[in-house]
């Protein structure tokens, strides 16, 4: 076996010399040094800035393609340093899906519910209330040509071919049969999750829960002031909420693992982020519906009944 010796420091002498024989003073296996160099190289790659090409290549490898409809949940920071900032990520997505594709991001404002619970009246301005779902969603919301759906709790910003079909629904239910999520199901959208756990992202599961029915959620109405193009009206909207009196806390992770094991979700590291792509909302609707029927406690393990 070959070894590398650590020798006395000298500015005129290499700090590492390959030695075979009795002259060796301190032996360090060469494999250990090689592993150290590989680790340093990997760390350099992970810390390097991502550019548009890197992102396009990564998203393509996951399975995103031309003409796709894709809903993107995201933690922009999870990617690490990105040359050009959030717009670079958006541009990479749009480059892949093309002008016949559709980019959808959640621009949810759960503060409407908090304000209603606190004051009896929420407030939502379609054009000016910012998204509470991160900088990538705000980037899309503010893009020329993008539109936002009119729902004070679960709105979506949409850019592309099906913009009008998704944003003009007018349904007042967050997760019901006429909601934006229902439309994405109809269009067989893909769902990308950048750097988030399933529990902090997959709102599509909430839509399936409402369609199937669960005993730990119920329909609650929220009302408030809705401003559209400067005109104010009063509106009432509904959401299938957790029963907080029972301290209900749901967990999406077990279902996420099932979908990954079935090959319905692909996972890839892009930059410093773990990125997932749900390949078909129709497929996961079918699978999750079946799993919920077999195990009503799937998302809420302490549920009764």
Give per-residue pLDDT as tens, 218-227: 999 999 999 9
Once rounded to an integer, what is the mean pLDDT over residues 71-99? 98
CA 108 to chain centre: 13
pLDDT of residue 260: 97
Strands 147-148 and 265-270: unpaired
Are the C-beta atoms of 149 and 158 separated by less than 8 Å?
yes
Nearest to 79 by CA among 192, 158, 190: 192
Quickly count: other Cβ atoms within 10 Å of residue 224's Cβ: 20
Report if residue 304 sits inside a domain: no
pLDDT of residue 101: 98
Residue 13 and residue 150 in one domain: no
Once rounded to an integer, what is the mean pLDDT over residues 261-284? 98
Q: What is the DSSP letter of 29?
A: E
Q: Which domain holds residue 39?
A: 3-46
Residue 41 and residue 62 in one domain: no
Q: What is the mean pLDDT of the chain?
A: 87
pLDDT tens for each residue of 193-217: 999 999 999 999 999 999 999 999 9
pLDDT of residue 28: 42
Residue 129 and residue 16 in one domain: no
Once rounded to an integer, what is the mean pLDDT over residues 147-158? 98
Q: Which residues contact 102 (CB under 8 A, 6 or more apart)?
A: 68, 69, 70, 158, 159, 160, 161, 162, 163, 166, 187, 189
Residue 201 and residue 266 in one domain: yes
pLDDT of residue 303: 52
The model's confidence at residue 97, banded by pLDDT at 50, 70 and 90, is very high
Report if residue 29 sits inside a domain: yes
Residue 65 and residue 36 in one domain: no
How many domains is the chain built from? Answer: 2
Query: In this structure, what is the dihedral angle of CA atoms 22, 24, 29, 31, given to the nearest 10 degrees?
Result: -100
Quickly tell me which residue has 């519910």 as its tokens: 113
With a cut of 60, say whether residue 16 has pLDDT above it.
no
Residue 126 and residue 204 in one domain: yes
pLDDT of residue 48: 77
Q: Is 120 exposed, middle or buried (0-12, 13-18, 19+ CB in 10 A)?
A: exposed
Once rounded to an integer, what is the mean pLDDT over residues 262-291? 98
Once rounded to an integer, what is the mean pLDDT over residues 229-238? 96
Once rounded to an integer, what is the mean pLDDT over residues 49-72? 98
With a cut of 50, say whether residue 9 has pLDDT above it.
no
pLDDT of residue 266: 98
pLDDT of residue 170: 84
Check residues 100 and 16 and name the one with the higher pLDDT.
100
% of residues, the chain, pLDDT over 90: 79
Q: Edge to edge, what strands does the sheet with 273-278 contain?
A: 147-148, 156-160, 102-106, 69-74, 190-194, 273-278, 265-270
Once rounded to an integer, what is the mean pLDDT over residues 99-106? 98
Residue 76 and residue 129 in one domain: yes
Report if residue 301 sits inside a domain: no
pLDDT of residue 47: 55
Report if residue 84 sits inside a domain: yes
Of 16, 31, 46, the last residue of a domain is 46
Nearest to 68 by CA among 38, 96, 105, 31: 96
With a cut of 50, say whether residue 104 has pLDDT above it.
yes
Once rounded to an integer, what is the mean pLDDT over residues 236-243? 95
With a cut of 70, say whether residue 246 has pLDDT above it.
yes
Report if residue 303 sits inside a domain: no
pTM for this prediction: 0.83
Nearest to 284 by CA among 301, 300, 263, 303: 263
Report if residue 76 sits inside a domain: yes
% of residues, the chain, pLDDT over 70: 83
Once rounded to an integer, what is the mean pLDDT over residues 78-95? 98
Is the four-CA dihedral 50, 52, 53, 59 of positive or negative sign? positive
Report if residue 279 sits inside a domain: yes
Residue 215 and residue 250 in one domain: yes
Percent of residues in the chain assigned helix, strand, coil, to nearest 5 = 35, 25, 40
Residue 117 and residue 252 in one domain: yes
Give the number of residues written for the chain: 305
Once rounded to an integer, what is the mean pLDDT over residues 248-269? 96
Residue 264 and residue 126 in one domain: yes
Once rounded to an integer, what is the mean pLDDT over residues 258-285? 98
Residue 127 and residue 39 in one domain: no
Report if residue 123 sits inside a domain: yes
Query: In this structure, what is the dihedral angle of CA atoms 188, 192, 196, 197, given to the nearest 10 degrees?
Result: 40
Residue 18 and residue 90 in one domain: no
């Amino acid at each position: 076996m070959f070894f590398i010796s650590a020798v006395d420091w000298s500015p005129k002498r290499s700090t590492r010399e390959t030695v075979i024989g009795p002259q060796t003073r301190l032996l360090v296996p060469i494999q250990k040094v090689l592993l150290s160099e590989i680790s340093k190289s990997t760390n350099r790659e992970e810390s390097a800035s991502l550019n548009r090409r890197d992102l396009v290549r990564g998203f393509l490898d996951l399975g995103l393609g031309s003409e796709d409809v894709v809903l993107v949940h995201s933690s922009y920071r999870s990617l690490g340093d990105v040359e050009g900032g959030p717009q670079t990520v958006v541009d990479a997505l749009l480059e892949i899906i093309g002008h016949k594709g559709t980019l959808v991001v959640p621009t949810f404002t759960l503060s409407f519910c908090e304000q209603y619970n606190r004051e009896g009246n929420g407030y939502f301005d379609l054009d000016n209330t910012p998204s509470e779902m991160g900088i990538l969603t705000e980037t899309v919301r503010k893009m020329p040509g993008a539109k936002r759906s009119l729902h004070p709790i679960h709105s979506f910003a949409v850019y592309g071919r099906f913009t009008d079909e998704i944003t003009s629904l007018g349904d007042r239910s967050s997760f019901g049969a006429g909601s934006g999520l229902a439309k994405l199901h109809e269009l067989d959208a893909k769902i990308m999750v950048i750097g988030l756990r399933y529990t902090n992202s997959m709102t599509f599961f909430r839509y399936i829960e409402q369609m199937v029915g669960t005993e730990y959620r119920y329909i609650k109405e929220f009302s408030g002031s809705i401003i559209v193009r400067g005109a104010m009206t009063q509106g009432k909207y509904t959401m299938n909420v957790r029963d907080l009196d029972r301290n209900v806390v749901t967990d999406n992770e077990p279902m996420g693992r099932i979908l990954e094991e079935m090959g319905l979700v692909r996972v890839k590291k892009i930059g410093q982020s773990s990125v997932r792509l749900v390949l078909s909302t129709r497929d996961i609707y079918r699978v999750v519906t079946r799993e919920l029927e077999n195990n009503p406690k799937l998302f809420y393990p302490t549920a009764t009944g």
